[in-house]
Amino acid sequence: MNKLPRIGIPIIVLVIILIIVIAKSAVTIGSGRAGVLYRTFGDGVVTDQPPMGEGFHLVAPWNKVFVYEVRQQELFENMKVLSSNGLEIQIDASAWYQPIFEDLGKLHQEKGENYLQRVIQPAIRSAARSVVGRYTPEQLYSSKRDAIQDEIFHETKKILDKQYIQLNEVLVRDVTLPPTIKDAIERKLKQEQESLEYEFRLVTAQKEAERQIIEAQGKADANRILSASLTDKILQDKGIEATIKLSESPNAKVIVVGAGESGLPLILGNN
């Protein structure tokens, strides 16, 4: 009876040690994440093998696993940059990015877990300063917002492609100008719009006047052609035709043929 406790104590100790080893060796990687293995008694960060994927893994208890999110993430940036004429412009932008899965070991080894602050933020800020510096505040306010968005994306991507980071998109959400500059631009745009509207009314009025002149000219030409074609003989023939039609009418009337200065029939009256 006294031997059982003496035998049981080492077993209990071994079980406890085993549980601790398993707990230290077990690694569970969640959805959308990947792990970088660090061998304490080896070559350090493992870069010649794919990262550890989602799920349960067993590693030596003296090694470490650094877990990274590898799905798309979003960075919000509020930047103050200078336009081509030296005015301060505020830009609100978003960057969609994610680590390149196959290069996750190199990213951890060369950039570290805070690669967002070390690499991505400086890259997008540098690209924004470079791009916005090519444009005037008026261009940024009106027609060039899509252009600067594309240019910031391509310049940032050019930097990040060499840093084991995939840039998916850059979105410029807002461009804020100094109030005085914004008011001046809005007044200028309003004046330009009013000028275009006035020119449109002038062109419309001019076209209407031209239409009326053409219509009046056409009527005048038609009347002139008609007057030239109406000879006395034609008028007499028309008068005779009208007299014949009147004579065939059932209404009683008196018609004197050959009366009047023109020799046309003269209708004296009816009873």
CATH 3.30.479.30, domain 73-177, yes or no: yes
CA dist 78 and 82 (Å) reads 14
Integer Rg of the chain from CA: 47
CA dist 101 and 55 (Å) reads 16
CA dist 69 and 73 (Å) reads 8
Domain boundaries defined on the chain: 3-69, 73-177, 186-229, 232-269
Residue 177 DSSP label: -
The H-assigned helical ranges of 26-136 are 104-110, 115, 121-132
What's the confidence (pLDDT) of residue 1? 46
Task: Report the relative pairing of strands 165-176 and 88-99 from DSSP bridges.
Answer: antiparallel
What's the confidence (pLDDT) of residue 116? 94
Question: Would you give the end-to-end CA distance of the chain in angstroms?
Answer: 158
CA dist 37 and 52 (Å) reads 8
Rounded to 5, what percent of the chain is helix, strand, coil? 50, 25, 25
240 within 8 A of 265, measured Cβ to Cβ: yes
- Give the residue among 178, 168, 13 at the shortest CA–CA distance from 95: 168
What's the confidence (pLDDT) of residue 268? 47
**Tokens at 59, concatenated:** 């590693």
| Residue type, position 159, single letter | I
Give, for 205, the enclosing helix (H) or strand (E). Answer: helix 179-229
What's the confidence (pLDDT) of residue 167? 96
| Residue type, position 26, single letter | A
Counting every residue written for the chain, the total comes to: 271
pLDDT in 10s for each residue of the chain, 271 residues: 454 456 666 776 666 666 666 666 788 899 999 999 999 888 899 998 899 999 988 888 888 999 999 999 999 999 888 888 888 888 899 999 999 999 999 999 999 999 999 999 999 999 999 998 888 877 777 667 788 899 999 999 999 988 999 999 999 988 888 776 656 665 666 666 656 666 777 778 788 878 888 888 888 777 777 666 656 666 666 666 766 776 666 665 555 555 455 555 555 455 4
| Residue type, position 199, single letter | E
What's the confidence (pLDDT) of residue 82? 87
What's the confidence (pLDDT) of residue 251? 63
Q: What phi, psi does 245 have (nearest 5°)?
A: -65, -35
**Tokens at 31, concatenated:** 């959805």
What pTM, to 2 d.p., does this model score? 0.61
CA dist 119 and 267 (Å) reads 109
